[in-house]
Amino acid sequence: MNPISKPDFTPVPELRKMQLEKLQKLIPYEYEHVALFRRRCDEKGVKPRDLVTLADLAKFPFMKKTDLRDEYPLGLTAAPMRDIVRFHCSSGTTGKPICIPSTQGDLDIWSEGAARCLAMYGITQDDVVQVSYGYGLFTGGLGAHYGAERLGCAVLPTGAGNTEKQIMLMQDLGVTVICCTPSYFLHLATVAEKMGVDFRRDTKLKHGVFGAEPWTDEIRTRIEQISGITAHDIYGLTEIAGPGVAGNCPYCHGLHIWEDHFYPEIIDPDTLEVLPDGEQGELVFTTLDRFGTPMIRYRTRDISRLQTGECPCGRTMRVMDRIHARSDDMLIIHGVNVFPSQIEACLMKVPEAAPHYQILLSSTDTMDLFEIQVEITAEAFSDDMRALEGLRRRVLDAVKSVVGLSPKITLVAPGSLPRSEGKIKRVIDNRRK
Q: Are 132 and 162 in contact (CB under 8 A)?
A: no
Task: Please answer whether residues 16 and 54 qualify as being in contact, where contact means their C-beta atoms are separated by less than 8 angstroms.
Answer: yes
Same fold, 1-327 and 330-429: no
Q: Measure Cα distances from 350 to 155, 183, 314, 390 in Å.
A: 37, 18, 37, 12
CA distance 98 to 371: 32
CA distance 304 to 302: 6
Does the structural domain 1-327 have CATH classification 3.40.50.12780? yes
Count, residues in the chain: 433
Looking only at the bridges linking them, the beta strands covering 298-304 and 281-287 are: antiparallel
> What would the CATH number be for the domain defined by 330-429?
3.30.300.30
What is this structure's pTM? 0.84
Cβ burial of 23 (10 Å; 0-12, 13-18, 19+) is buried
The pairing of strands 99-103 and 84-89 is: antiparallel
Closest to 84 measured CA to CA, from 346, 337, 247, 290: 290
The enclosing H or E element of 35 equals helix 35-44
Q: Is the dihedral of CA 46, 51, 52, 58 positive or negative?
A: positive
Per-residue pLDDT of the chain (433 residues; tens, 9 = 90+): 788 999 999 999 999 999 999 999 999 999 999 999 999 999 999 999 999 999 999 999 999 999 998 999 999 999 999 999 999 997 654 457 889 999 999 999 999 999 999 999 999 999 999 999 989 888 999 999 999 999 999 999 999 889 999 999 999 999 999 999 998 898 899 899 999 999 999 999 999 999 988 788 888 999 999 999 999 999 999 999 999 999 999 998 899 999 999 999 999 999 999 999 999 999 999 999 999 999 999 999 999 999 999 999 999 999 999 987 777 677 878 767 787 878 888 888 899 998 889 999 998 766 788 999 999 988 898 888 999 999 999 999 999 888 888 999 999 998 888 876 656 778 888 886 5
Find, among 294, 338, 39, the residue nearest to 47 by Cα: 39
Domain boundaries, the chain: 1-327, 330-429
> Distances in Å between the alpha carbon of 300 and those of 26, 236, 337?
20, 10, 19
CA-nearest of 4, 31, 83, 16 to 316 is 16
